Chains A and B, each alone.
Chain A
Amino acid sequence: MKDIYSGSLTRLAAVDAQEMGKAYAEWNRDSEFKRLLDSDAARLHSAKAGADFFKKILDEAPAYNPFFSIRALSDNRLLGDITLEVLHAWNGRQAIVGIAIGERADWGKGYGTDAMKTLLRYAFNEMNLNRVTLNVFEYNPRAIRSYEKAGFTHEGRLRAALLRDGKRWDLLYMGVLREEWLALNSAR
């Protein structure tokens, strides 16, 4: 059986709370990173607060929700993280995926798409899910393109869900079904 954690540019690995806390403290200093990532008001956290936050997630999250770090295959550098939150293990078998690539210099290089593809293979082949869902802000075209490349389809939008920089923005919903992913990957 092949290595399910590696793509062509990145690999998925375990999270070390200290390391991730420190990394997020750095990445959050670029407010664009934070504003692309989530809807909370951009705020600066210390490395220690970050480490505590991640330690709590690792200790308390249900065992079947994986939380991976994304590392570059070339030099093992920590690039970001990717998580799956399983909703309804018994019904619908779907999960919500969240991904972040931290450094601006690492954006637009294919790392996110590569990691997402690996994660989808894990979701469908190791966790046997039926669908994976994500949401993304209208003002994040790079991410939207990346998700489309990884196999996600547009499913809808929550209109005017976000207010930022004085403007209202939609929250887009995208999803990929097991059959779609299988068809995409056997065609390769």
Chain B
Amino acid sequence: MKDLYRGTLVRLAAAQPEELAAAYAHWFRDTEIHRLADTDPAQLWSEKYLKEQQEKDSEKPSPRAYRFTLRALAEDKLIGITGLVTNDLCEDAWVYIVIHERDYLSKGYGTDAMRLIVQYGFLELNLRRITLGLHSYNERALKTYQKVGFQLEGRVRGEGRRDGARYDGLYMGILREEWQALT
């Protein structure tokens, strides 16, 4: 059986609460990355608060959430996060991925990580399909997800507003059969 945690450039790893909290405190300062990843307003949290949140998460993980950190294989550096949140019957899941370290953007790390987490979802969680959402202005992510095999399933008009301009929410999905045909 293959190693589900290991890709070609990254590996899926467990979150170490203290390390992740420190990373977030530093990552949240980069508002461009935040605005590519999230719909919530950009915000600055104390390291203390972030550490408490991480500890709470690791003590009592939500039963339907499968959360990982991403580490670059070469230098074992913490570069981002990824995970799946399944529905009640574990048939569909929302996937998310954020490469937080700028040096690792547009170098294939995102594609590798997304392939890994999607494989985990289909091979280990036996999902029937995986869903994701992204901002209409996130062209890099759209290209990555298309490369991995996600199909566009819709556009929520005016889902958000930033700097006075409305943007749309794009939604994509990949079915198990589609994924099997690719691999």
Contacts and interface: CB of A to CB of B under 8 A. Distances in A.
16 contacts: A62-B63, A64-B88, A64-B89, A89-B86, A89-B89, A89-B90, A90-B86, A90-B90, A90-B124, A90-B125, A90-B127, A91-B124, A91-B125, A91-B126, A127-B89, A128-B89
A63 interface: yes
Interface string B72-101: 000000000000001011110000000000
A90 B126 contact: yes
Nearest to B64: A89
Contacts of A64: 88-89
Contacts of A63: 88
A90 B86 CA distance: 9
Interface residues of B, number: 10
Contacts of A93: 90, 126
Interface of B: 63, 86, 88-91, 124-127
**B-side interface mostly:** loop
B146 to A, nearest CB: 27
Contacts of A62: 63
Interface in A12-30: none
**Interface size bracket, A side:** under 10
Contacts of A89: 86, 88-90
Interface in A38-89: 62-64, 89
Nearest to A64: B88
A118 B144 CA distance: 46
A89 B93 CA distance: 13
Contacts of A91: 124-126
Contacts of B91: 128
A64 B90 CA distance: 11
Contacts of B86: 89-90
Contacts of B126: 90-91, 93
A62 B88 CA distance: 11
Contacts of B125: 90-91
Interface in A100-136: 127-128
Nearest to B66: A90
B60 to A, nearest CB: 14
Q: Which of A62, A64, A90, A91 has the most CB of B within 10 A?
A: A90
A64 to B, nearest CB: 6
A44 to B, nearest CB: 36
B145 to A, nearest CB: 23
B133 to A, nearest CB: 22
B174 to A, nearest CB: 17
Nearest to A129: B89
A14 B88 CA distance: 20
Contacts of A128: 89, 91
A128 B127 CA distance: 12
A75 to B, nearest CB: 34
Nearest to A86: B89
